[in-house]
Amino acid sequence: MRILLVGSGGVGDAFARIAVRRPFFERLVVADYDLGRAERTVAAVGEWHGPDPRFSAAQVDASDAASVAALAREHQITHVMNAVDPRFVMPIFRGAFDAGADYLDMAMSLSHRDPDQPYAQTGVMLGDEQFAEAERWESAGRLALVGIGVEPGLSDVFARYAADHLFSRIEELGTRDGSNLTVEGYDFAPSFSIWTTIEECLNPPVIWEKNRGWYVTEPFSEPEVFDFPGGIGPVECVNVEHEEVLLMPRWLDAKRVTFKYGLGTEFIDVLKVLRKLGLDQTDPVTVKGSMSGRGSEGVVPLTVNVSPRDVVAACLPDPAGLGHLMHGSTCAGLWVTGTGKDGQPREVYLYHVVDNETTMGDYGAQCVVWQTAVNPVVALELLAAGTWGGRGVLGPEAFDAQPFLDLLAGDYDSPWGLEERTPAR
């Protein structure tokens, strides 16, 4: 297996730090638009694990399918791993196909809300552009494994496990994500890409119900307090747009599928202000300013076009560099209700808790990006071994969950948990 890792930000850097400990691949090219950043990741891998000739750095333009394809062909890549934000999903997805490589990502192609009734009608949904090309991938005998981070990703693996091993009938598959993380010295410092967080949290959330299909609601709707394990405790969670709701119903039988994120009141208030001010927008706006000229030129007018969301991201600290200031744990999991294999009502929470001190000490990566990155590494190892295999555009639900969970808890030493909860009567 020869891997092209596109993106060496927080998650891409953590992916490389995890992968270097595994023997299943012969080549890993770390590529980024900023060659220096890719080189820093390769250097960091060497510092933590010792020099490894399997690793190299390269420059790539993730917005250009031809650039991705050319780099993949140059290095005879078999699998393209997308570790950049979802703006670049489609060019990387198509570049991998053009190069004859298989493809994996941790976030799917972007949604586009209905222009007239964004909170009443579904528009283009997450992953629609990728699934529209599924027949082409299947006909070519090639695999695009989409949504294989932690959420989506591990939560989807949990869903397949619950359907196969725990339940005879599922009422709800409810992804629930929360943490007790704090960042020393910052009142507001997101632990994940703020660009992606804004995209997820301010788009109309999607819900699946068997009797009506996919439908949308208002952002931050249906608040509930969910009690998380691992010392995190109760956190208020709200509806957020996320890929699990678009993936799980394609392969699994459930009456309802939801995604709720434990954002906290302060975070929600900040996001509402960004939306109210238009700072969540991605389309460039014209900003007028001035710059000092030389001699008799005086002040020279300066006009630039910038995306408001990019400005917000530039004003906040890079989450990848906050690990040494972070304290606490993050929990990703799936709450499942329904009828157990014994015919009795059952409610469980399948979960994965990761402590920041542990991931910083073992890998030099903060826990949120580490938890996201470990899952595609596990998936690639299963593909390399032939344990997983398929063709077309597939989600994690399309694969047997047991070997994934066994490998994650075993060789990767990152155990998951199952908590029985009292069913509502």
pLDDT tens string 89-126: 999 999 999 999 999 999 999 999 989 998 889 999 99
Least confident of 63-77, 254-268, 281-295, 322-336: 281-295
Report helix angle 367-385 to 401-409, nearest 10: 120
Rounded Cα distance, 251 and 22, in Å = 30
Comparing 142-151, 157-166, 299-308, 354-363, which segment has the lowest mean pLDDT? 299-308
Residue 349 phi/psi, 5-degree rounding, is -125, 115
By mean pLDDT, which of 24-28, 279-283, 402-406 is the weakest?
279-283
Query: In angstroms, rounded to a whole number, what is the distance separating the alpha carbons of residues 125 and 182?
Result: 33
Q: What is the mean pLDDT of the chain?
A: 92
**Residue 416 in this model has a pLDDT that exceeds 90:** yes
The residue-averaged pLDDT of 163-170 equals: 98
For the stretch 282-322, pLDDT in tens is: 888 888 765 555 545 555 667 778 888 888 888 877 776 77
**For 189-213, how does the pLDDT look when each residue is reduced to its tens digit (9 = 90+)?**
666 677 777 877 788 999 999 999 9
Residues 2-18: what's their mean pLDDT? 97
pLDDT band at 379 (very low <50, low <70, confident <90, very high): very high
Comparing 397 with 327, which gets the higher pLDDT?
397
Above 90 in pLDDT, residue 325?
no
What is the spatial distance between Cα 379 and Cα 399, in angstroms, rounded to a whole number? 10
Q: Residue 79 and residue 369: Cα distance in Å, rounded?
A: 21
Contact 305, 285 (CB under 8 A): yes
Tokens 């969301």 locate to: 309
Domains of the chain and any CATH numbers: 2-105 (3.40.50.720), 154-272+315-368+415-421 (3.30.360.10)
* Average confidence (pLDDT) over 375-395: 98
Q: Which of 334, 344, 332 minimizes the C-alpha distance to 162?
A: 334
Say whether 5 sits in a helix, a strand or coil. strand
Per DSSP, helices labelled H in 345-400 are 356-363, 367-385
Place of tokens 């552009």: 129
Q: So what's the pLDDT on residue 378?
A: 98
Over residues 237-260, the mean pLDDT reads 96
pTM for this model (two decimals): 0.91
Half-sphere exposure in the Cβ direction for 261 (13 Å, CA) = 22
pLDDT (mean) for 389-401 = 98
Per-residue pLDDT at 159 exceeds 60 = yes
Please report, rounded to a whole number, the percentage of residues in the chain having pLDDT higher than 70. Answer: 95
Higher pLDDT, 7 or 312: 7
Average pLDDT for residues 81-90, to the nearest whole number?
Answer: 95
Residue 357 has pLDDT above 60, yes or no: yes
